[in-house]
Copies of this chain bind each other. A is one copy, B any other.
Amino acid sequence: MLAWGAVAPAQAAAPQKPARLGLCAACHGETGMAQIPGAPNLAGQQLDYLREALKQYRDGRRNVPLMRAAIGPMSDADLDELARWYSAQTPAHQGNP
């Protein structure tokens, strides 16, 4: 008997991996855990906060040239997809100094 009922609804609702994730992942990781000093973790961050922060990086209110260069060419839909992806990740436990 096929156990089709075993597909977890929570997993079915998780966002698909964004097409533009690679650039972000270099510093923030694919699952939103920072890979380099100075970069924030994004895993599980509030969706509305991520959306607003991305807008601020794109328009220069948060003046971080690297982020502006990375985000500038992206569409609103791209940014929304990335915000949803990172917000949906579960933070990994990590030691902090």
Tell me the complex Cα distance, A34–B87, Å: 13
Min C-beta distance of A81 to chain B, whole Å:
14
Q: Tell me the number of copies of this protein.
A: 2
Residues of B within 8 A of A11 (CB): none
Tell me the dominant secondary structure on chain A's binding face.
Answer: loop
In angstroms, Cα B96 to Cα A19, docked, is 21
A-B contacts besides A39-B46, A91-B91, 4 pairs, CB < 8 Å? A38-B52, A40-B45, A40-B46, A88-B96
Range of interface residues on A (Cβ < 8 Å): 20 to 34
Q: Whole-angstrom distance from the CB of A49 to the nearest CB of chain B?
A: 4
Give Cα A79 to B97, complex, Å.
Answer: 16
